[in-house]
Structure 1
Amino acid sequence: MPALDRDGVKIHYEAHGAGPAILLTHGYSATCRMWDGQIAAFKDKWRVIVWDMRGHGESDYPTDRAAYSEELTVGDMRAILNACGVDEAVIGGLSLGGYMTMAFHLRHPQMCRALMLFDTGPGFKKDEAREAWNATARARGDKLDAEGLAGLGTSDEVRQSRHRSADGLANAARGMLTQATSGVIESLPGIAVPTLVLAGANDKPYLAATDYMAAKIPGARKVIVPDAGHASNLHQPEAFNDAVGAFLATLP
């Protein structure tokens, strides 16, 4: 599979199928393997591009903490699309991948045909709430430093992921999972492309954020998947794919 060189950091990506492009970004501590069910479902009509964020899976695990950030992640996404010869794509992601999808749109709206936001949130307007989130993210990094990969736990998206080291994940928690500004949440009313906002009905921490994004993004389509948790595409793949397929069928 191809890899991209980003200033000495190898970024693993895969492109499956042919047709209009979809770029899918996984959640923190998962890998592109979480999208295997979507690759199989959509590759006959779409070019499905997936990748491993830095510090995850088959991508590199740089030791420099400065090599992990929202800005660099968005840059990785753009570089992958450029390497694939794609000027415009449906951009989608789950959890951290969904947040990075919104961050990508903020910086490169002209490259977004549509957005798909799965089990995610747009960040925080208030500094206090953002710092509380960041403290939790930094604590995740500390836990990985202390416990290694065992510190990841046993969530569904973690169980089907393979990482070579906990070091990159710890740095990713501190540099990519943390948030510096309210730019993403403030950008929601300005999103002018078709947007799907989807969450599992049992993903309680993200239901309010799902409602908020659906209300703030003009014309957004909201879907709640019954009997699904945070990894809604893994818990209810048929219902998830049906919702995604119905949304994609509406795109001009």
Structure 2
Amino acid sequence: MKIFIDEVYYAVESVGEGEPLICLHGFTGDGSTWDDLKDQLSGKLRVITIDCLGHGESDIPSDYHRYSIEKCAHDLNRIVEELHLASVNILGYSMGGRLALTFAVLFPEKVKRLILESSSPGLKSEDERSSRQIADEKLSQILLNDGIEAFVDYWEDIALFSSQKKLPAEKQQKIRDQRLNCNPLGLANSLRGMGTGAQPSWWDSLENLQMPVLLLAGELDEKFCLLNEEMKKRLPNAVFHKISECGHALHVEHSTKFGKMIEEFLLTT
């Protein structure tokens, strides 16, 4: 279905019945990245996937300011209202995790449980944010000047995704096809508007989040393991699980184990 929020359409899919779980994909993804999870959980939960702005079947505004993470969190709140949900469980991967956390900071009363996969509360200092914005603008220029295929060739070769080279060829091709299906302007504006350097730091807000939080990271993703260890110390009601033999995209690299952990957290916490 399409839901119209503040001059843009969002693509939303809902399967199953029961407790609602909203799933937010990462950069270069779309709602289909959660297909395995939907197969595992839709018999027990209502799984709702949303294509983030600039991705999948959602709209691609030309003004990158429309993609700001706070605006998108307000969009998400409107979507929750349109679906007539008083509160939700929310899962976010990487970029989607930053959006999920932003939603939890701005609308804590709407979040029953929060699950963050390979994500962070942003960068702590203005210098870090400025440096990241410069780096993300270079990526935006690759997208706009060289095209999506050149960008994907570069993107899938960065260290963050090195563990994905061990995946079966069919799964690697599915990930590549998903990335190639992205719109260059949508990705560029997503980087400019809701990239890690563009968003506020939520580090000082973590202590205010009282809902149960599940933090997940792969042991091969050392940067995010360290970030999540620090996040756990600041969150009042969080657990952190480090997944062995896994990198950044847990839901892709170990989908069955990932699904079981999500199910256990949602049904027993």
TM-score category, normalised to shorter length: over 0.9
Matched, 1:167 2:185: yes
1:201 matched residue in structure 2 = 219
Q: 2:200 aligns with which of 181, 206, 213?
A: 181
Q: Secondary structure at the match of 1:161?
A: helix
Offset from partner CA, 1:7-42 (integer Å, 9 cap, x none): 331110101100111111111111111111111111
Distance 1:188 1:41 in 2: 30
Post-superposition CA distance 1:57-110 (Å, at most 9, x none): 111111122221112210221122112111101111010111111100111001
CA distance in 2, matches of 1:158, 1:62: 24
Q: 2:53·2:186 contact (CA, 8 Å) conserved in 1? A: yes
Alignment-derived partner of residue 216 in structure 1: 234
Residue correspondence of structure 1 range 127-142 to structure 2 within 5 A = 127-142=126-141
| CA gap 1:205/1:40 in 2 versus in 1, 3 angstroms | same
Partner secondary structure for residue 120 of structure 2: coil
1:4-153 correspondence to structure 2 within 5 Å:
4-150=3-149, 151-152=151-152, 153=155
Residues 188, 217 of structure 1: 8 Å contact kept: yes
Code of the aligned partner of 2:222 = K
After TM superposition, which residue ranges in structure 1, 4 or more long, deviate above 6 angstroms?
none
Distance 1:104 1:8, change over 3 A: same
Note the aligned Cα RMSD (angstroms). 1.6
Q: Which runs of 5+ in 1 are unaligned?
A: none
Match of 1:231? 249
Q: Is the 8 A contact 2:9 2:59 kept in 1?
A: yes
Aligned partner letter, 1:188: L
Q: Is 1:125–1:186's contact at 8 Å kept on the other side of the alignment? A: no
Amino acid at match of 1:92: L
Higher mean Cα deviation, 90-99 or 144-153? 144-153
Q: Give the aligned residue type for 1:79.
A: R
Whole-Å Cα distance in 2 between the matches of residues 160 and 34 of structure 1?
A: 11
TM-score (norm. length: structure 1): 0.93
> SS at the partner of 2:237?
coil
Q: Which AA in structure 1 matches 2:234?
A: K
CA distance in 1, matches of 2:230, 2:135: 22
Q: Percent identity?
A: 28
Give the drift of 1:239.
Answer: 1.5
